[in-house]
Amino acid sequence: MRLKGKKAIITGAATGIGLETARRFAEEGAQVVLSDIDSAGVAAAAGEITGAIAIAADVTDQGQVDALIAGAIEGLGGLDIFVNNAGIPMLGGVESLAEADWDREMDVNLKSIYRTGRAVWPHFKAQGGGVILNTASIAGLRGSAGQASYGAAKAGVINLTRCMAIDGAQVPIRVNCICPGFIETPMVLAYLEGQDDPVASRAEVDALHPLGGIGRPGDIAAGFVYLASDEASWITGTALTIDGGLTAGI
């Protein structure tokens, strides 16, 4: 068990990548707190994992973030790993995107990592180490039509990860992120279903990935398990791309 005895928080854990990451962490021996703004959803998700704790929180609210971390430390008896997976999609170019939508995207997908990092940093520093993992995206590595705010936020996640890694290296607080390609999550499936021709759109997106088809939440969860484990003790500041080869030729 690669995470035996570790204690972790995973945000955005009611569904998709967050839920699968919580499952995999638990399978690898970690005690986990699942968090999400969807209180009923995250309670149901935690109920699927033996010993898991659910704490609903809005990552755009510093008070709720502070309460999440305090509750996790109390409930688990400590904290070693924080996975920032909460995120929302926001489609539109700069000419059509409302300023409120831009701000919301940045608040949830980027500034939340500042908030959680700011809150958990003193704890990790006091105990002499910790791991912070962030969900970025291939949208942060390249330009994409209609993804002005999402792409900008995810690019920010990648560079914030690097900056935090340098700042935390002497503790050490290791900070890494994963850049997924298209993953079969409720968010991606809803996007595809919203297209004029969902079947054709799915086929088009599948074809973007040289390894064949879009990925599964477990593909990303496996990356998080590795980066959280002691096997990755000399890895910090990296953006691990897990995308079925999508960006290999770019």
pLDDT for position 13: 98
Indicate if the alpha-carbon torsion angle 179, 111, 164, 218 is positive or negative. negative
Reported as a single tens digit per residue, the pLDDT across 179-208 is 999 999 988 888 888 889 999 999 999 999
Q: Is 150 labeled as catalytic in the residue annotation?
A: yes
Which candidate in 114, 150, 191, 226 is catalytic? 150
- Answering whether pTM is above 0.75, one says yes
| Domain extent for 150 | 7-182+218-241
Q: How far apart are the C-alpha atoms of 83 and 52, rounded to whole Å?
A: 15
Domain count, the chain: 1
Answer whether residue 110 is part of any domain: yes
- CATH (domain of 225): 3.40.50.720
Reported as a single tens digit per residue, the pLDDT across 145-160 is 999 999 999 999 999 9
Instruction: State the pLDDT confidence band at 164, using cuts at 50, 70 and 90.
Output: very high
**What does the mean pLDDT of the chain come to?**
97
